[in-house]
Amino acid sequence: MKKMNLKNYRILFFSVFALILTFCTQKQTIPEKSVKDVMDNAISHIYSTMDSKAIESIDQEKAMKLFDENELKVLATRHWVFNTNVPVVVSIMRSTRQKIMPFWLESSGFEKTGLTMKNEQNTYEVWQKSFDKGTVGLGINGFENFSYHYFVSVAPQNPKDKVELSGFIPENQIVSILDNGKTIYQDWTELVTMEVPEEMKGQILLTTIRGRGKESHLIGAFRTTAYPSSAVPDQVMLTWSSDPSTTMDIQWRTNTTVETGSVKYRIRESADEKTVQAEKFLMEDREVMNDRFIHRFTAKLRDLMPGTEYEYLISPATDWTTAESFTTAGDNDSFSFVWFGDTHQKTAFGELHDKAEAAFPETAFYTISGDMVDYGLYRDEWDNFFENSKNVINKKPLMNVPGNHDNRLGLGAKMFRDLFSYPTNGPDGVPKEQTYSFTYKNTLFLMLDATSSTEAQTHWIEQQLASSSATWKIAIFHFSPYNFEEPYPDIQEAWVPLFDKYHVDLVLGGHLHYYMRSNPMKAGKVVDSHSEGTTYIISIAIPARHNDIGDEPYAAVRYKEGQFFQHFKIEGNELKYTAFDFDENIVDTFKIQK
């Protein structure tokens, strides 16, 4: 065998070293685990190793034991990340109401300063740590989902340096300057800083949202649904994402053993059957112990005949005697619809919904002006909501907008979007299907997301109104601009002038859990007739009671307690409005003639 000389040894050594160096370099470019990765794995482990009693007993000590050293490092450094161009001092403002200290705060070198600042809800203690230039990584707010997340400020160690921040996780970080009167939480802009220490004024302020604690929620996090999915399709619901006269969207749920779905449909009692395949997606609520994953299906029926009754079956059903039915919009200007205020997934709403359908079976569709549930990212609450209305929404479309409970604590309304198939014709700057419009016969419906940016929707609202030739114009959104408790000046300034300019007939809202109908209004003042102004109405679809609803000089009718549904009958140029209580007594009525 031929021996290697020294030269060959050197060549071999450096070749192997180069390979090792290349391998190590490649490993370093693999992205770090995210907090979501770590939490997803932990929750999967919990479900595979613990029963429900053990899961419900998780406390801080037990939560910490679920993670190894590397996973704890991710939780301590990857929740909130940014890069800085110069050495900085990072301040963390932590609410004194938070009972459990973030596990990483002291051990990572942050020190309590004795400084404090406030807002109307909290006093915040200030913790600080110096960082060299480069990456700053901060940890989770805790495992208990405390609702007032810490916030951050950044200052240069050398006052002469100019700090530049980049590479934010999460993306789209809002950056401000710390001072009194500054917004802390993007989902509660009215909650602003007070009593900011003089030495901290002018620092870079990084705001957050209150709901970020959900990202690492383990203590008291887990829920069960009373209505888990199965292989049998349920939660069957009709909506529109296109023209009500020629289309219908049919949605339903199954467990994950069902991989495909379809709808068979036909004109009532005809022999001509058609089939459309459904779109499927996997939906997760990782804290639902008994139904973490489900499949949601949407079948979009197109090229239907206007003014026609259809019947349909969802696979695997084949027996037409069990079919449900719906009717497309006709070419006349006569129809009725029913509107509800807040429903909050209560069984009392389901009873009211059934009553409304029994009283007015000719109703073309139903609409809710937000707050369908208490917590919009809890799928078990949506399960309750669908169960309550299952006997109506499988044959009448349900057209809704999100309220603040559906778009909760700044976390967004993704579950709302995943559950409802609506038009995607809304404005840029608002998630699709949260703001949209549709025209039913001679009426334009502006479905607005009052929990999103008012400004982002204003130009789009004017475009919709200016381009519509509809006889009637109705706007539906959660936060009514006129109410007894918290008027919305931004909506009054941005949207109300457009309602006046283009003569929107009705504005329907909720949120405050009482009933109010205004006199016709224009420019914030009562006018003599409906032909001159807009009527604003607030309602509530579950039992509610206020001790005091103050004075509203613009109001025509008010009730501080009750549970109501509102029926609208449109016949060409006449609109008749009637509000009913739970016992179907008429509590308010009026007509508009054009």
Q: Is the peptide bond before 553 cis (omega within 30 degrees of 0)?
A: no
Question: What are the strands, taking DSSP E only, across 230-354?
Answer: 234-239, 248-254, 262-267, 274-277, 279-284, 293-301, 309-314, 324-327, 334-340
For residue 51, the enclosing domain spans 35-216
Q: Is residue 2 part of a domain?
A: no
Output the average pLDDT for the chain: 94
233 and 206 belong to one structural domain:
no
| Residue 31: partners with Cβ closer than 8 Å, 6 or more residues away | none
Distance CA(434)–CA(450), nearest Å, equals 9
Q: Is residue 22 part of a domain?
A: no
Residue 446's CATH number: 3.60.21.10
The predicted pLDDT at position 29 comes to 32
248 and 367 belong to one structural domain:
no
233 and 203 belong to one structural domain:
no
* 199 C-beta neighbours (distance < 10 Å), count: 10
Residue type (1 letter), 243: D
| Residue 557: partners with Cβ closer than 8 Å, 6 or more residues away | 515, 516, 517, 587, 588
Residue 255's CATH number: 2.60.40.380
290 and 364 belong to one structural domain:
no
Question: Do 136 and 89 meet the contact criterion of CB atoms below 8 Å apart?
Answer: no
Q: Is residue 389 part of a domain?
A: yes
364 and 415 belong to one structural domain:
yes
326 and 392 belong to one structural domain:
no
302 and 350 belong to one structural domain:
no
State pLDDT tens for residues 444-501: 999 999 999 999 999 999 999 999 999 999 999 999 999 999 889 999 999 999 999 9
Q: Is residue 15 part of a domain?
A: no
The predicted pLDDT at position 1 comes to 36
Q: Is residue 358 part of a domain?
A: yes
Query: Whole-angstrom distance between the N-terminal and C-terminal Cα of the chain?
Result: 106
The ranges of the chain with pLDDT < 70 are 1-31
Q: Is the dihedral of CA 123, 129, 134, 140 positive or negative?
A: negative
The predicted pLDDT at position 408 comes to 84
**Residue among 556, 133, 564 at smallest CA distance from 340:** 564
Helix, strand, coil share of the chain (percent; to 5) = 20, 35, 45
Number of domain units in the chain: 3
Residue 492: its H or E element: helix 489-494
Question: Do 464 and 446 meet the contact criterion of CB atoms below 8 Å apart?
Answer: yes
Q: Which of 216, 241, 266 is a domain's end point?
A: 216
Question: Do 393 and 238 meet the contact criterion of CB atoms below 8 Å apart?
Answer: yes
Q: Is residue 12 part of a domain?
A: no
177 and 244 belong to one structural domain:
no
230 and 347 belong to one structural domain:
no
Q: Is residue 298 part of a domain?
A: yes
Distance CA(578)–CA(586), nearest Å, equals 7
209 and 325 belong to one structural domain:
no
183 and 146 belong to one structural domain:
yes
Q: Which of 313, 331, 349 is a domain's end point?
A: 331
201 and 306 belong to one structural domain:
no
Q: Is residue 18 part of a domain?
A: no
Q: Which of 311, 331, 351 is a domain's end point?
A: 331
